[in-house]
Structure 1
Amino acid sequence: MTAALSLRSLGKRYGLASAVEDVTLDIEPGEMVVLLGPSGCGKTTTLRMIAGFVEASGGDILLDGHSIRRLPPHRREMGMVFQSYALFPHLSVARNVAFGLEMRGVPRAEREAQVAGMLRLVKLDALAARLPRELSGGQQQRVAIARALAIRPRLLLLDEPLSNLDAALRQDVAREMRLLQRARGLTAIMVTHDQTEAMAMADRLVVMRAGRVEQIGTQEDLYERPATPFVAGFIGHSNLLPGTLHEGHVLQVPGSSITLAQSYGLVGNATLAVRPERIVLAPPGTHPDERALGRVELSTYLGAVVEHVVRLGPETQVVVTGASSGAGAAHRFPAGMAVALCWTADSERLFNAAGGAVHGPRVAAGLPAQEAGQLVGNV
């Protein structure tokens, strides 16, 4: 039976240094949540506190409403899959999968039945007698997953489980893990620094930075509505353009100015985020959504997309991508050509000097009254 997990103001300090601070999160039964962020952001420390391998300095960990913070790891009813697989090299595949069951005193006949079932589940039943060194990386990872599932955990913890696999194999194993998690209704938490992997695996993402949670939400939430410039830059790729906002709609950047699609109740320092695929290039003066002028520095064919690097000013560069073929194919402009950068109101995201999202009236108008008021109040 899978479980609900709640973290309440969870933190970890090493002396005066804070590795994790005030992490609060609720995970529903059967949900896959991915902790995502750069190295050193606290995601692995958070996972290890949940597992019981690292003692929390503050806060609480609740499994189905009951605190497990003081319980040792073996009493937390969790299965763990490590980055390094952590298989016993001298034991066969079947013995590796059976290890947790042996430690729990499961009778031999029941143990063998469960091991056989797990190996069928991960499609390794024909390799039960092999040693780990006789398996590929993807097969070893599936053994590690089978071992974690064999004990019937209430919660599955995945610590960078795909990082040792090559790119093509990583996608295949990620897909298998996601299908397995969905089919068995497992509550799972995964740690990764790879945003593509996280987007493919998660029901919800938790983006962390410097020990704190930056934003929690679905892939669409974080991609379309990033709460901070960090999230805008880390999830997908955004052009982040810091400057000074004048008259609510003109952003002055070094050597150029950008006319925003909306007017904002803000003056002073601000940062604009626009994703490369949301920008259209056109000859100056020919497009109704023209926002800025620049000059193409580089035009590159990348297979499915064409990428342009456009210089707005001495310190301001913008990347623009578009489909390379089909009905909506982007026009390819040669290096040195003057172009207009064009986008619509729903393609821009503005942040104030403190890093908070600023919402124009057009965006706020489409929200429920209470939420729109909250957003405008944050400006």
Structure 2
Amino acid sequence: MSLHDQTKLLIPGPIKMSPEVIGALGQQSVSHTCPTFTDSFRDSLTKLRRVYGADSTKGIPLIISGSGTLGFDLVGSNLIDSKKDNVLVLSTGFFSDEFHEAISQYYVEDASKQVTRLGAPNAGATVSIDEIERELGSKQYDLIVMTHVDTSTGVLLDVESIANLVHKVSPDTLIAVDTVCSLGCETIEFDKWGLDICISASQKAIGAPPGLSLGMVSENALKKHESLSSKSGSYYTSFTKWLPILRSFESGKSAYFATPPVQMIDSLRIALTQILEYSFDNQTGIHARIAKHKQTSDNFKTAVVEQMKQELVSGSLNNSAHGLTAIYVKDPPSVIQYMAKHGYTITGGIHKDIKSKYIRVGHMGISACDDSLNDVSGCLQTLSEALKQ
């Protein structure tokens, strides 16, 4: 047993991986054009569609070597006309602002005119639907960008309601969603909600190792990419380069642009398979896994609020994410240190307005879904003890 195995990792990603996912990482390398890897890549792309709730024949799923942050560049370099497009960014925390920064500094010529940021009134809040509607009605926006779960605050955005609003009042606006901290533990209905591009990563609720940028792209977004007259451009993140590769692998034929990480993609395949085969509460698949995350999250948050008398950064269960909990505490460093001393790795805050006032506990993947591990229940007991110190 390694030193890492002795610590229960409960941060909002990377998360603990299943033995089967870990095992895939220990395989000998194979050629990235051999039939074995081609089958693994195809299976991963097909399963990713199912996790996103996307049609098996429309659009294209994304699996590209890189972090979740690479998704900012995938959106910016492929879907924004740098000279004329207007972009509306909804901000609910640190990572929303990172997305805003990426677009404003790298993908438009005049951010002061082309990019509008609608921020939550305070840390832990969301942007009101009325404010979004007023802004969408003020001028034509070509793209709206939002973060489903901002990992800095544990806030869950109602993407479905916002998407419905966009389709109603600004139907030509493309919808981009950061699902890095929501894919695999929150409800996402890519087709049903009419989303255009989602970006994500492998190391959070998906339960695979860090290093893969994931996503889903709609037919409308692909048409927009093809029609762009001026774009900032990027060689590595160009859809022009990647889409033929991904389409080829999804059809069962190998192709080459950049060497894919063969072990990581096979570990992703196993992680996605485990998600789609998961059973809970008379359900099987992604909806069962989401339901289990919700149960784990609600139980955890209820104990924190009602038994430990602590306040959630997100304010209430209604707008709280189900993959992590952000908690106001008196002395975050001492709580984190106490938890580490007793075998639990949690983390502190990163939101600029409140980062010295709170802690964050992740409960995603097998830690949230396998009660026999006792990760979350043990964390609750230890956290209760830490708060008494």
- TM-score, normalised relative to structure 2: 0.27
The structure that is helix-richer by fraction is: 2
The structure that is strand-richer by fraction is: 1
Q: Which has the higher contact order (CA 8 A, sep 6+)?
A: 2
- TM-score, normalised relative to structure 1: 0.28
- Pair member with larger Rg: 1
